[in-house]
Amino acid sequence: MARPVIGVATQTIEAVPGELPPCWIMGQRYVHALRHAGAVPWLIPLLPDDLETLREIYSRLDGVFLTGGVDVDPKNYGEQTAEYCGKTDPARDAVEIQLIRWAKEDKKPLFAVCRGIQIVNVALGGSLYQDVTKQVPTALRHDYFPTADQPARDYLAHAIDITNSSRLAELLGGTWVKVNSMHHQAIKQLASGLIATARAPDGIIEGVESSNGQYLVAVQWHPEELEDRDAGMRRLFTSFVEAAC
């Protein structure tokens, strides 16, 4: 059986005069996690002004994977950009939103992590906290970004509670697991058509699924950093790839 092709949108790196032209990039761990699960990863260029080419790429995909990255531009959910919002990538936003909407219409399998859960929510009509710490004073710390002084990317920062009988509970093998956490934005208003199936102890949404049976799973943590040692995290990737076959 042919291995399914999974599309992964890239992210923009601006030109550095005299050193680097404009580039599109993507972290290797995402690609390796998909490859380990049996997929053929396909990195997608950011061509928001060429929908014909983007549609041709999409038509060759068996599934869509949304990764972590820079902040989602608040303009996409009708808000002004606050001073605590980070760097954005409008071209990436536009391409991913289009891919998500096409996948939703076609019921094509979709899996998303970290920024991915946020852009899925925005693409389907929801909104975000531009900064959890600033806007939710009672929230736990969620921004365990690696630095020389902070934990590694696989540090299990907090637990999540998972809805019993949800797809996430089935894949992760229970209703309580510990996860890593590298984000400062999060879902505020949940989009129609999505069901929140995992939350942090402070109520922040950590996982969503589609309400219509489509294979659409999105999580706020980074399972690609854990799949080599945790069977449940690995199943998030293998079940997605199996759904795309």
Let me know if 224 is a catalytic residue: yes
State the Rg of the chain over Cα.
17
Q: In three state form, how does the secondary structure of 21-64 look?
A: CCEEECCHHHHHHHHHCCCEEEEECCCCCCHHHHHHHHHCCCEE
Active-site residue, from 114, 142, 184, 227? 114
Question: Within 13 Å of residue 84, how many CA atoms lie on the same side as its CB?
Answer: 12
Active-site residue, from 96, 224, 225, 227? 224
Active-site residue, from 142, 183, 184, 222? 222
CA distance 115 to 178: 19
Let me know if 114 is a catalytic residue: yes
CA distance 34 to 27: 12
AA letter at 186: A
CA distance 187 to 115: 10
Tokens 């920062």 belong to residue: 157
What backbone torsions phi and psi does residue 81 show, to the nearest 5 degrees? -75, 120
Token pair recorded at residue 234: 């690995």
3-class SS at 94?
helix
CA distance 11 to 183: 17
Let me know if 85 is a catalytic residue: no
Of 219, 231, 165, 214, nearest in space to 187 by CA: 219
Active site residues: 114, 222, 224
